[in-house]
Amino acid sequence: MLFADFYREMRFLSKQRYIVLFLSAVFALSAFAVWSGLHETKLQQATIERLLEKDTVDRENVLAGHGDYGSAAYYSFHVTYSEPSSLAFAAMGQRDTFPWKHRIRMLALEGQIYETDAENPELSLFGRFDFAFIVSVLLPIFVILLLHDLRSGEKEAGRYDLLVATAKKQHKLWLSRALVITTGLALAMLVPLLVGAAIMQAPLAKTAAMVLITLAHLLFWVVVTVIAGRMMLARGQNSPRIASALLGVWLLATVIVPVVSDTLINQSITGPNGGEVVLTQREAVNGAWDQPYEVTWDEFLKTHPEWADYTDMASSFDWKWYYGFQQAGDQHAAELSKAYRDTIVRKDVAAGKASLMSPAMLTQRLMLSLASTDISASLAYEQDVRDFHASLRQFYYPLLFKGGEFELEQLADMPLYRQRLSN
């Protein structure tokens, strides 16, 4: 029976040009957002591929042109990267804010990690027009515009009493009409997403989860809009007032709560910033040139006591001393760096709690998590870089400390960066 009502309302609403045009516009927006996400994903993949191609050639050239391990380590760059996940096209998230590629050397790491500028600061300020943005921010507006006058519009058009008096089951009329519009909106939003997911061969479970998040947010606003519309109509409010009230709720949930919570979080959870970490590490490294050798060795041997018997230097400059104070520089900034990362995590946890008050925030966070483009994914990539850098040191220290003739073959086992799978 409900199917018959649904079919009737579908035929009826499909003849309303406004509805058809509106849903077409939503489809176009969603398709554009997905296309833009796919385009960005392909660009990032191509950039990584290009960097990887050059990376090997560049390193081979560098290594061939140097005759000692210290120079080889100094002049060799290593590309590290965080490949976009198969659903990143739908929610670029922190990939616009946190770096997803670094070319690092065996120098002090902290400066290399936090020296990066955002690729597009303006874009990261306003947020990308991706699928997650449409679902979390614009979708409620679509729902409000289409459904705020579900009943009041008929009242104002003078049809309400006739409709109510004619409909066999009054609630089925409104339910089926709201259901048709909701289904139309869901299809207009989700078809481009599903096409994008098919192109990227995204895992079925994650794609299904993305669809469910979209539907949950859609249904939340449908329920709010329909109930508020009904209650306000019963209190004699007209369509513009209902729309205004609902847009007020949207403004509160989608703009004011996130902005206020962000401000409160930033004020209540403070910590060092990346610039301070870079400066601290740089000052320690630069200062080492003027310090007695023992100061560097004391600091270095705190974490690498196994090289205590190999600190003798044949001249005033030795690469092992150079890398020793690079290591000491990182150690000097380690506490600050950890505090910086802890602050990011604490802010993220607080933002997660605040998102329970804002469906838009919650939706966006869930989508970023699914797409592996959230803070956790960014920190995981940073940890990958740290681990790789540590493995480089692990590889070079024996060659630098034990001395011996430079042999290119010794470098054949040099570690290569491999991203942990995030798809």
Q: In this structure, which amino acid lies at residue 24? A: S
Which part of the chain contacts other proteins (CB under 8 A), choosing from 43-51, 162-170, 351-359, 379-387? 162-170
Dist. CA 44–CA 42, nearest whole Å:
5
235 sits near other proteins (criterion: CB under 8 A): no
Nearest approach, Cβ of 176 to other proteins (angstroms)?
10
* Of the candidates 144, 164, 141, the residue with the CA atom closest to the CA atom of residue 154: 164
Which member of 3, 117, 122, 165 binds other proteins (CB under 8 A)?
165
Q: Draw the binding track, 118-157, toward other proteins (x: CB under 8 A; -: no contact).
A: ---------------------------------------x
Find where tokens 């210290």 sit. 70
Q: Is 78 helix (H, G, I), strand (E, B) or coil?
A: strand
The only residue of 6, 75, 160, 293 in contact with other proteins, by rule CB under 8 A: 160
Quick count: other Cβ atoms within 10 Å of Cβ 257? 19
> 81 has which bridge partners?
101
Closer Cβ to other proteins, 131 or 174, answer by number: 174
# residues near other proteins by CB under 8 A: 20
Q: Check binding of 169 to other proteins (CB under 8 A).
A: yes
- Name the residue nearer to other proteins (CB basis): 163 or 345: 163
Maximum alpha-carbon separation in the chain = 101
Residue labelled with tokens 């660009």: 43
208 C-beta neighbours (distance < 10 Å), count: 12
- 158 makes contact with other proteins (CB under 8 A): yes
Looking at 168, 204, 205, 267, which residue binds other proteins (CB under 8 A)? 168
Contact call for residue 170 and other proteins (CB under 8 A):
yes
Task: Provide the minimum distance between the beta carbon of 188 and other proteins in the complex, in angstroms, as a whole number.
Answer: 20
Task: Single out the residue of 154, 143, 145, 181 nearest to residue 238, CA to CA.
Answer: 154
Q: Footprint of other proteins on residues 12-31 (CB under 8 A)?
A: 12, 15-17
Residue placing its CB nearer to other proteins in the complex, 229 or 272:
229
Angle, nearest 10°, between helix axes 359-370 and 204-234?
170
Q: How far, in Å, CA of 36 to CA of 127, rounded?
A: 13
Cβ proximity to other proteins, 165 vs 412, nearer residue:
165
* 94 vs 368: CA distance, rounded Å: 8
Contacts with other proteins, residue ranges (CB under 8 A): 8, 12, 15-17, 157-170, 173
